[in-house]
Structure 1
Amino acid sequence: MSDTMPCPITHDRVTLDRRELVGLGAAVSAVGLLGTSPASAQNQNVIDAALQTLGDGKTFDSARMAEVAKFLATRPFVPLPNDLPDAFAKLPFEQYTAIRIKPESSIWYREGRGFAVEPLHRGFVYGNKVQIFVVEDGVIRRIGYDRNAFDFGKVPPPADDQDLGFSGFRVMADSGGGGSWEAAIFQGATFFRARARGQEYGVFARTLILKPADTRGEEVPFFRAFWIDRPTAGSGAMVINALLDSENVTGTARFTLRPGEMTITDLEVSLYPRAAIDHVGYGAMTGAFLFGPNDQAATPDVRAAVYEVKGLQIHNGRGEWIWRPVSNPSNLEISAFVDTNPAGFGLLQRDRDYAVFQDDRQRFDRRPSLWLEPLGEWGVGQVQLIEIPTDSELNDNIIAYWRPKDALAAGSEVSFASRLYWCWSPPERPAMAIVTGTRIGHAGSGRVMRFAVDYRAEAFADANLLRDAKATVTASPGKISRLQLWPYPERKILRATFDLDPGSDTASELRLVIENAGKPLGETWLYRWTG
């Protein structure tokens, strides 16, 4: 792959080359002196000049990257150009995914570092052009576009003089002696996703989410550039720095990726708001739920269930474990779980049996659970869950994130950090029973609904423990009847069944707790029934 050396912006005696960020003001003045470009072009030149302080041949400095973000926050927002030719913007998904970089053109290919990076071509819905730099021995090297580095399959390649650029990159890992495998992808807005060895891709993470499901419309941040540290052989870790931007905020992100049987990503984010932002989300994650036992399909499907996310688990700041099954509602549903300093939350896939889905292509049983632990105190706020109606499994209609109580003030600096686990099951789990199943159906005529909730724990093999268990169910609004516990020690299962009569109401918030001698035996089960 060829490298492109960016030229420093010069005017008279002002040169933005190896100067510190304090020289940015001079560079901006130089751009302004040109006088012939429209304001948007001048602002784009300012961005280019700022990025050159972290460009080819420079020494990478995370403090300098933060200064670039702070500086850009004082300048007008410049959207990414929409310059992707139709021939690539209108590519069908199958043709786009067939465009792959040639293995020998991968970054650090066969260097024995445990990682290789494959830049991703622009096309399909991935129209944003991001700059990719690598940092080798502290020195920055820009990765330039070269069409000859790609195998385009059946797609006609671009002309020699076209620089279509990159939409992101994938990380290939070679850890544990099991051969090379694709461990993570950074592509689209501020999306990224990873997986453990042997898994299929599933839930996405978002570095930052702004105003999702907001009547004012969502604001979508994006990455302008990445700086990827060359991994040290045998370290098992890769560090990726990124500059993010949006209409009302700029920021930096630092990812430390450690692939393996459980792939771990440490994320550190600093934000510099251009304007006040009253709806911001940290630790956002998205996944798909089409139908399952608690939400039957409206149309026939040969599969038994279709979902990569079974539910939202929360370990709140009071030490309570909560399980909230997700659903595909008829209308947009937003749920909030108020908390202070949460211990963790995540969108989990708890079903690992092929028979649950009977899906030969998608293999939802191999999708990762994503568990997030805040690093440091996140203060007062709420875990917010958004469930969006969908008729397609291709739509990520389930969104969960932490929404801090306080707004971001213009001109401020706000930082947060988290650790994300892409796993078969989270590293931290209740010392009690977990909910393994939620089924809902009609209880006969009328609007009465019957619920069956299964709890499983190794301790439930003790019939005496199950014999003394008690359950409490509340509904708001609605009436609960026929509450009963069904112990199955041979299967280590305790099942709770009950009926809900919602009356004339179209929604009810349900809460189920199982106890023994006043102590919880399992997670607190929460559910929003809608009819």
Structure 2
Amino acid sequence: MIDFNRRDFLSLAAAFSVVAPLPGRALAAAGAPGLTFGPAKPFSFDWLKEEAKALSERPWQNARSPHGETLEKIDYDAFQKIRFRSDHALWADGKGGAPVQFFHLGRYFQEPVLIHVVENGEAREVLYRQAYFDLPADHPARGLPDNIGFSGFRLHEPSQKTDWLAFLGASYFRSSGALNQYGLSARGLAIDTALPKPEEFPRFSRIWLERVEGEPDRVLVYALLDSPSITGAYRFDCARADGPVMDVSSTLYPRKAIERLGVAPLTSMYWYSETNRGQAVDWRPEIHDSDGLAIWMGNGERLWRPLNNPPATVTNAFVDARPRGFGLLQRDREFTHYQDDGVFYDRRPSAWVEPVNEWASGQVQLVEIPTDDEIHDNIVMYWVPDEPVEPGRALQFDYRLHWTASEPFPAELLGRVMATRTGTGGIPGQPRPKNTTRFVVDYRGGEVGALERGDAAPVVDLSRGEVTLADSHPVVGQSGLYRAFFDARIEGTDPVDMRMYVKGKGDRALTETWLYQYFPNRSAQGRGS
């Protein structure tokens, strides 16, 4: 990693992966017009696993480009001026796969990725040529030699006017999802995130692309992951469909013991919403790529944890065994809640991780980092296995990654949390009790839409403090909307962990379980007079 902070890295990777192609160029008639390839070599996923294993038994080598002096001149603005020529796109012949364009190297992407094309069991490297790119006459990239490699690639729809999947920076990748708007990112692996030592960013050093004949929206991506601590072989079966789905198979080979291994990590941004409106300094009512963490526990329980913009970096762990799925979701799809017609937060994708092979005991970890602007990705989530990560012991993690507008497996009979709000506790018109805050949670779906007053009641647990009032009822005049609320008297400023669900007759849960972490010192609300 070069010397800039973690959030800057994430934000830059996100910004660079949506560079638009040059308009007006005719699509190529051939599968790879004008591209130059290396010699053919046998390739298979089994070979890639053996390559990753052999690499793990050798010392790690820094692959930083020797042309750093020139690449340093390709800053954010200069990078944006580089355009891949759409008439040089791979697989623009309509015979399968998706048109592929390649990303250039630059100041923030100085470790070249070697990209190959697989056909009939053989792979050929796509050799970098400056002619693939349109560059201004005085652009510093013109001083670079040929065959320097690429920094990543992206998959386009047939017209090449928009892309739907991009790999760029370390092991980061992301999709525009079902609503055609980029937002949160995924990556191959996270190492030692939020520990009191530097985080390690593994990277995809080599990539292989293979198309499936007759399937224009499906591409197989193979990747070799490398870092000082671990190597890995990845296979991504990517299908666009109505919302892109990626079947991910990964085999990992540790070089050394790893304290915190983050599997299937997701990275997002949460600044503020109706939950923490006191932190809103922008004119827009809400700004976030994701508004909550959802977990489908191994025992069948459904959890919803609204995201926070905390006063300091906070890591929360949700212990589980054989999880059925988890993800960072954007549930709020109302444009009027954001009022943003430039970057469209209401269209940002949700990402859901569905384990395929058996993931034994471990925990979903959620890392929340303070932010004061939307340009910083400040939310990270991943799975941490309990089994030790040590050299000589390969690890296998297979999962399906859904880029959706909502959960792919909703709990049909349970009410889902749609909004969380906080404010002063007590009863209007009467003296407000000191140190008391009201928490209001709205639900939709399942059976809650048919409830009447008295049919159900909230069950609330606090890590500290006292619940002084709790109730639930259908919202008058709002069909299908159900509201639960409680007042909590909380002394001091230490954070409070909260848990609530609505139960019906026979103590049956009618909603998913709402979890929340409240920071009394971040709000003047609820303190009374």
Q: TM tier, shorter chain?
A: 0.7 to 0.9
Which residue in the other structure is 1:3 paired with? 36
Of 465, 471, 496 in structure 2, the residue corresponding to residue 508 of structure 1 is 496
Counterpart Cα distance in 1 of 2:143 and 2:389 = 45
Q: CA deviation at 1:396?
A: 1.3
Matched, 1:285 2:273: no
Question: Is the alpha carbon distance of 1:298 and 1:513 closer, same or farther for their aligned partners in structure 2, counting shifts above 3 Å?
Answer: closer
Deviates more, 1:337-346 or 1:151-160: 151-160
Question: Is the alpha carbon distance of 1:171 and 1:290 closer, same or farther for their aligned partners in structure 2, counting shifts above 3 Å?
Answer: same
Matched, 1:467 2:451: no
Q: CA deviation at 1:231?
A: 2.9
Counterpart Cα distance in 1 of 2:138 and 2:268 = 30
Which residue in the other structure is 1:116 paired with? 99
Which residue in the other structure is 1:529 paired with? 518
SS of structure 2 residue aligned to 1:491? coil
Counterpart Cα distance in 1 of 2:130 and 2:357 = 44
1:86-140 Cα shifts (integer Å, max 9, x gaps) = 5543444344233221011111123432511111111242222100000122221
Question: Is the alpha carbon distance of 1:363 and 1:87 closer, same or farther for their aligned partners in structure 2, counting shifts above 3 Å?
Answer: farther
SS of structure 1 residue aligned to 2:279? coil
SS of structure 2 residue aligned to 1:123? coil
Structure 1 length as normaliser, TM-score?
0.86
* Contact 2:441–2:484 (CA under 8 A) maintained in structure 1: yes
Q: Which has the higher contact order (CA 8 A, sep 6+)?
A: 2
* Contact 1:457–1:492 (CA under 8 A) maintained in structure 2: yes
* Contact 2:411–2:446 (CA under 8 A) maintained in structure 1: no
Of 188, 196, 221 in structure 2, the residue corresponding to residue 240 of structure 1 is 221
SS of structure 2 residue aligned to 1:382? strand
Matched, 1:497 2:480: no
Query: Which amino acid letter does the alignment assign opposite residue 165 of structure 1?
Result: G
Of 32, 48, 54 in structure 2, the residue corresponding to residue 65 of structure 1 is 48
Counterpart Cα distance in 2 of 1:168 and 1:235 = 21
- Equivalent positions of 1:346-365 (< 5 A) are 346-365=327-346
* Contact 1:208–1:221 (CA under 8 A) maintained in structure 2: yes
- Equivalent positions of 1:433-472 (< 5 A) are 433-443=415-425, 446-457=434-445, 459-464=447-452, 467-472=454-459
Query: Which amino acid letter does the alignment assign opposite residue 480 of structure 1?
Result: V
Q: CA deviation at 1:159?
A: 2.8
Which residue in the other structure is 1:38 paired with? none
Counterpart Cα distance in 1 of 2:223 and 2:372 = 35
* Contact 2:94–2:216 (CA under 8 A) maintained in structure 1: no
Matched, 1:345 2:326: yes
Which residue in the other structure is 1:332 paired with? 313
Question: Is the alpha carbon distance of 1:155 and 1:198 closer, same or farther for their aligned partners in structure 2, counting shifts above 3 Å?
Answer: farther
SS of structure 2 residue aligned to 1:262? coil
Number of aligned residue pairs: give it: 477
Question: Is the alpha carbon distance of 1:457 and 1:295 closer, same or farther for their aligned partners in structure 2, counting shifts above 3 Å?
Answer: same
Which residue in the other structure is 1:50 paired with? none
SS of structure 2 residue aligned to 1:467? coil
Which residue in the other structure is 1:169 paired with? 153
* Contact 1:278–1:406 (CA under 8 A) maintained in structure 2: no
Counterpart Cα distance in 2 of 1:408 and 1:161 = 41
Of 82, 97, 100 in structure 1, the residue corresponding to residue 83 of structure 2 is 100
Aligned-CA RMSD value: 2.0
Question: Is the alpha carbon distance of 1:218 and 1:85 closer, same or farther for their aligned partners in structure 2, counting shifts above 3 Å?
Answer: closer
* Contact 1:134–1:140 (CA under 8 A) maintained in structure 2: yes
Matched, 1:384 2:365: yes
Question: Is the alpha carbon distance of 1:491 and 1:293 closer, same or farther for their aligned partners in structure 2, counting shifts above 3 Å?
Answer: same
* Contact 1:312–1:325 (CA under 8 A) maintained in structure 2: yes
Counterpart Cα distance in 2 of 1:435 and 1:298 = 21
Query: Which amino acid letter does the alignment assign opposite residue 483 of structure 1?
Result: A
Counterpart Cα distance in 2 of 1:420 and 1:524 = 23
Query: Which amino acid letter does the alignment assign opposite residue 460 of structure 2?
Result: V
Which residue in the other structure is 1:17 paired with? none
Question: Is the alpha carbon distance of 1:494 and 1:84 closer, same or farther for their aligned partners in structure 2, counting shifts above 3 Å?
Answer: farther
* Contact 2:68–2:110 (CA under 8 A) maintained in structure 1: no
SS of structure 2 residue aligned to 1:81? coil
Question: Is the alpha carbon distance of 1:154 and 1:200 closer, same or farther for their aligned partners in structure 2, counting shifts above 3 Å?
Answer: farther
SS of structure 2 residue aligned to 1:143? strand
Q: Which runs of 5+ in 1 are unaligned?
A: 6-55
- Equivalent positions of 1:28-427 (< 5 A) are 56-153=39-136, 156=139, 157-159=141-143, 161-174=145-158, 181-234=162-215, 236-298=217-279, 300-427=281-408
SS of structure 2 residue aligned to 1:69? helix
Counterpart Cα distance in 2 of 1:523 and 1:458 = 10
1:184-232 Cα shifts (integer Å, max 9, x gaps) = 0011111111133432111111111111001122111111100111331
Query: Which amino acid letter does the alignment assign opposite residue 355 of structure 2?
Result: P
1:453-475 Cα shifts (integer Å, max 9, x gaps) = 101126334244x5311111111
Question: Is the alpha carbon distance of 1:163 and 1:234 closer, same or farther for their aligned partners in structure 2, counting shifts above 3 Å?
Answer: closer
Counterpart Cα distance in 1 of 2:307 and 2:436 = 21
Q: CA deviation at 1:292?
A: 1.0
SS of structure 1 residue aligned to 2:50? helix
* Contact 1:309–1:348 (CA under 8 A) maintained in structure 2: yes
Counterpart Cα distance in 1 of 2:138 and 2:448 = 58
Which residue in the other structure is 1:14 paired with? none
Question: Is the alpha carbon distance of 1:153 and 1:367 closer, same or farther for their aligned partners in structure 2, counting shifts above 3 Å?
Answer: farther
Which residue in the other structure is 2:31 paired with? none
Question: Is the alpha carbon distance of 1:389 and 1:151 closer, same or farther for their aligned partners in structure 2, counting shifts above 3 Å?
Answer: same
* Contact 1:480–1:501 (CA under 8 A) maintained in structure 2: yes
Question: Is the alpha carbon distance of 1:312 and 1:155 closer, same or farther for their aligned partners in structure 2, counting shifts above 3 Å?
Answer: farther
Counterpart Cα distance in 1 of 2:372 and 2:198 = 22
Deviates more, 1:449-458 or 1:280-289: 449-458
Query: Which amino acid letter does the alignment assign opposite residue 376 of structure 1?
Result: N
Query: Which amino acid letter does the alignment assign opposite residue 202 of structure 1?
Result: G
Q: CA deviation at 1:522?
A: 0.7
Which residue in the other structure is 1:488 paired with? 475
Of 443, 448, 466 in structure 2, the residue corresponding to residue 479 of structure 1 is 466
